[in-house]
Amino acid sequence: MKALTRTDFNFPGQKGVYHGKVRDVYNILDEKLVMVATDRISAFDVVLPEGIPYKGQMLNQIAAKFLDATADICPNWKLATPDPMVTVGVRCEGFAVEMIVRGYLCGSAWRAYKNGNREICGVKLPEGMRENERFPEPIITPTTKAEMGLHDEDISKEEILAQGLATPEEYATLEKYTLALFNRGSEIAAERGLILVDTKYEFGKHNGEIFLMDEIHTPDSSRYFYSDGYQERFEKGEAQKQLSKEFVREWLMENGFQGKEGQTVPEMTPEIVNSISERYIELFENITGEKFVREDTSNIAERMEKNVTEYLTK
């Protein structure tokens, strides 16, 4: 099993490339983007030293499936998936905010709440809530899109408008789309015996219209609980059974790494890498309800170059 951790393509019409933490994005004639989901894995804003076989394929295929399943709610950037690890879409001018939507009080929101905060991103929270409790209604807690190497920061609707990151009309559309997408994602999750706990969406403008961009409802951008036993665990104050990459963070923390200065990433043995890959396959099959088909990994870059070039030149 080979993992693809680096790409260096030169596609027809290519004007530039952006290497993100996990994705490599190629600009084609300022019109299209070729987004490669690599097998890189990041946690605590650090790219880990080993790639995870099949991770890119899984993330790309989950995102493509959910982009198709929500295309009636709002337009999205996807044009095609010419390769299992690649989505080609229209180039959008992105908003400098990520729309994070939460259905349950957990993660960083719970940590803030536990420390006495009763307001996140300008949203007032009720008193007396417990970890993993469902909010009366989903809440939107946006973050700013940080520059490379910096953490995203919480921001309120009022600050977004004051800073001109979106007009009042644009923000109203972002909110409407975010809640409708989350609602659809929650319905699909429920059919699979899952709870969509929280997720993030990115939007941009294309020809003056607001489009959904990037990935959607993947385990890298979302947190899922298993519905079965949720209530029982909640009442007992026990940890929920999660479907997200939280298990990777937990393994790192158990081994003394939280991305802080002076800390080193624990050794990622072949056994660890394989176990993470298997967990991702479990995530894929639970989230999509489909069997995961492992693509040939003997020469991923060659396959990808051929598939994408054929698509761009047809």
**pLDDT at residue 120 is higher than 80:** yes
Tell me the per-residue pLDDT of 17-43, one tens digit each, with 9 for 90 and over.
Answer: 999 999 999 999 999 999 999 999 999
For domain 94-243, the question of CATH label 3.40.50.300 is answered with no
**Boundaries of every domain in the chain:** 14-92+247-313, 94-243
For domain 14-92+247-313, the question of CATH label 3.30.200.20 is answered with yes
Share of the chain above pLDDT 70, in %: 98
**pLDDT at residue 148 is higher than 60:** no
Q: Tell me the whole-structure pTM to 2 decimals.
A: 0.92
Tell me the per-residue pLDDT of 246-280, one tens digit each, with 9 for 90 and over.
Answer: 889 889 999 999 999 999 999 999 999 999 999 89
Helix ranges restricted to H, the chain? 55-69, 107-114, 157-162, 168-191, 230-236, 246-254, 270-288, 300-313
Distances from the Cα of 19 to the Cαs of 7, 16, 57, in angstroms?
Answer: 9, 10, 17
The C-alpha atoms of residue 220 and residue 217 are separated, in whole angstroms, by: 8
Tell me the per-residue pLDDT of 197-244, one tens digit each, with 9 for 90 and over.
Answer: 999 999 999 999 999 999 999 988 999 999 999 999 999 999 998 887
The C-alpha atoms of residue 151 and residue 38 are separated, in whole angstroms, by: 21
